[in-house]
Structure 1
Amino acid sequence: MTTPTPVLFIHGLWLHATSWQPWIELFREQGYAPAAPGWPGDPDTVAEARETPESIADHGIDDVVDHFAGIIRGLDSAPILVGHSFGGMIAQKLLGQDLARAAVAIDAAQIKGVLPLPLSALRATLPVFKNPANKHRAVSLTAEQFRFAFGNAIPEAESDALFEAWTIPAPGKPLFEAAAANFDPHSPAKVDTANQSRGPLLLMTGGKDHTVPEAVVRATLKQYRHSEAVTDITEFPDRGHSLTIDNGWREVAETALTWLRQQGL
């Protein structure tokens, strides 16, 4: 009997790890061994996370990468990684370090070397950047801010329901690190995009995403031009940043599953 391939789901800023539950159930049905560990300091529930933002604060990109690397080392075999937003950046870093057999990066936060900075992305992250002290704090979104950053491509009522169900405070530090990446030779947002031996990577982009617009994801794809390892891209033209949790999540998940099967995974 073959051992199921482990899959680790990595959330991004402002969403709790439990928001991956429908994906976990689908991937388990398809024969994988899925799990969605939180970031370092993440409480077990949305309610606890909202009550104790200080537990989430001040964790940077390297902290999150090291946290997931430790989880991976405890597995019997290398996992497939599925990450959303900053989770997509973390997945790419771990794949570049040969710690995963493949990665799916959904609306992934910009890595070092990516230059486009669309206005909508600046507006979506303004709640953090408006105060430099937020680098060491955890910052919450309002329902209105979530609507712009995540729920712009779905009905307002659905956006509000997702906000109530899944949002938690997010550490500001990763955003400050990503913003300074192209000025920092040792930036934690640097990914080994030239790795020839890494596993396959699928980039996914929502055509209406305000937080990580399509231009950012396509610029990310270009960063991999020096590697012959498989790097694919899929676009969902009518989707925003909520595409992993909104009413259309299953189409995104099944697209990822189909691609994994195409890679022999």
Structure 2
Amino acid sequence: MNKTLILIHGMWSQAAVWNPWIPALQNAGYNTLALNLPGHEPGASPTAMKGLGLADYVAHVVQAAQGHSDVVLVGHSMGGLIAQQAAVQLQPKALVLVSSAVPAPIFPLRLNTLLGTLRSFSRPELYWSTLALTQWEANYLLYNKVPEHERTAQYNSLIRESGRAAYQLAFGGLNLAGSNRVDWAAITCPVLYLAGKHDRIVPASAAQALAKRVGNIPGSLFELHVFEEHAHMMMVEESSRKRVNEILSWLSSQ
């Protein structure tokens, strides 16, 4: 097999977010490379990602992929959008998106998202600063389908995130610089997107809008699966093992 799965984490996270799935992926014969995005390395300064944007993260993924053949990009949340942008350059064998951020012109924010993000996005200095979630915000946005007794430990694993990257992600077509756009016509590999019906930070409706747009591109190979039992953090939710097995089954069919 010898395919390498490059695992790209999302906002406020590190490579360890993939730990629940890595044993199953490796037992199936895949090499795994779980990346820490710039400024997210264990032991880094809490503000090390200050001023970094999506292009910095994409460049890191593209560099990490050098020397690896038969690459599959797997991205969660912000890491999903990074994977989409990196796929344009890398032309991977496959692309797996888990609760993935969506590109412009799709506008991802919904009213229920604002309950967990308004405090941060109302800070005028955020673009050149960093942001952290309160525990209430994390439980509301990220952990609403994680067992309650596990939420505090999950929250304690979070770190800060670049305000610049957050702005680039959040505002769809209002990002006039276009740093959150993806040339989907240039992505020719098969794509699997797993979405949670109860996701409050990347709503399933945003994933469905992406599937509709990509589905209109001739020759696109895009599958979207929406799960009633899931929200944003599939890797640590109760049906986690089912989802990694589904990814493995899909990869084996490609």
* Structure 1 residue 262 corresponds to structure 2 residue 241: no
Shift of 1:126: 2.5
Distance in 2 between the 1:231 and 1:80 partners? 15
Question: Does the 8 Å CA contact 2:199/2:232 hold for their aligned counterparts?
Answer: yes
Matches of 1:109 and 1:76 in 2, distance apart?
A: 25
Q: Report runs of 4+ in structure 1 exceeding 6 Å deviation.
A: none
Q: For the structure 1 residues 189 and 9, does the alpha-carbon distance in structure 2 shift closer, same or farther, using more than 3 Å as the test?
A: same
2:107 and 2:171 in contact (8 A); partners too: no
Partner AA of 2:58 in structure 1: V
Checking the alignment, whether the CA contact within 8 Å between 1:115 and 1:219 is kept in structure 2 is no
1:42-81 equivalence runs, <5 A? 42-44=40-42, 48-49=43-44, 52-73=45-66, 75-81=67-73
Which of 235, 244, 259 is the equivalent residue of 2:226? Answer: 235
Deviation at 1:40, TM superposition (A): 1.0
1:163-184 alpha-carbon deviations (Å, 9 max, x no partner): 12x2111111122112344134
Question: Structure 1 residue 116: deviation in Å?
Answer: 5.2
Q: Distance in 2 between matches of 1:91 and 1:64?
A: 10
Name the structure 1 match of 2:95: 103
Structure 1 unaligned residues grouped into runs of 5+: none
1:143 to 135, 148, 155: 135
- Which amino acid in the other structure matches residue 245 of structure 2? E
Structure-2 separation of matches of 1:5 and 1:139: 35
Q: Deviations over 1:21-65 (max 9, x none)?
A: 222221111000001111112223xxx35xx21112221111101
1:97–1:192 CA contact under 8 A, matched in 2: no
CA distance in structure 2 between the aligned counterparts of 1:230 and 1:89, rounded to whole angstroms: 17
Percent sequence identity is: 28
Matches for 1:137-176 after TM superposition, within 5 Å: 137-164=129-156, 166-176=157-167
Q: Does 1:205 align with 2:203?
A: no
Q: 2:240 aligns with which of 210, 228, 249?
A: 249
CA displacement, residues 63-83 of structure 1 (integer Å, 9 cap, x when unaligned): 10111111112x231410111
Between 1:168-177 and 1:150-159, the stretch displaced more is 150-159
Contact 2:50 2:130 in 1 (8 A): yes
The answer to whether the 8 A contact 1:85-1:212 is kept is: yes
- Does 1:193 find its partner at 2:184? yes
Query: 1:132-155 CA distances to partner (integer Å, 9 max, x unpaired)?
Result: 211122211121111001111233
Q: Which residue of the other structure, out of 18, 30, 33, is the alignment partner of 2:31?
A: 33
Which sections of structure 2, spanning at least 5 residues, go unmatched? none
Q: TM-score, normalised by structure 1?
A: 0.89
Contact 1:116 1:219 in 2 (8 A): no
CA distance in 1, matches of 2:199, 2:246: 18
1:130 correspondence with 2:122: yes
**Per-residue deviation at 1:248?**
2.7
Shift of 1:115: 3.3
Alpha-carbon separation, structure 1, partners of 2:10 and 2:219: 28
Deviation at 1:223, TM superposition (A): 2.1
Q: TM-score, normalised by structure 2?
A: 0.92
| Structure 1 residues 193-222: Cα deviation after superposition (integer angstroms, max 9, x where no partner) | 122x62111111100011111011101112
RMSD between superposed Cα atoms in Å: 1.8
Describe the SS at the equivalent of 1:53: coil
In structure 2, the partner of 1:220 is 210
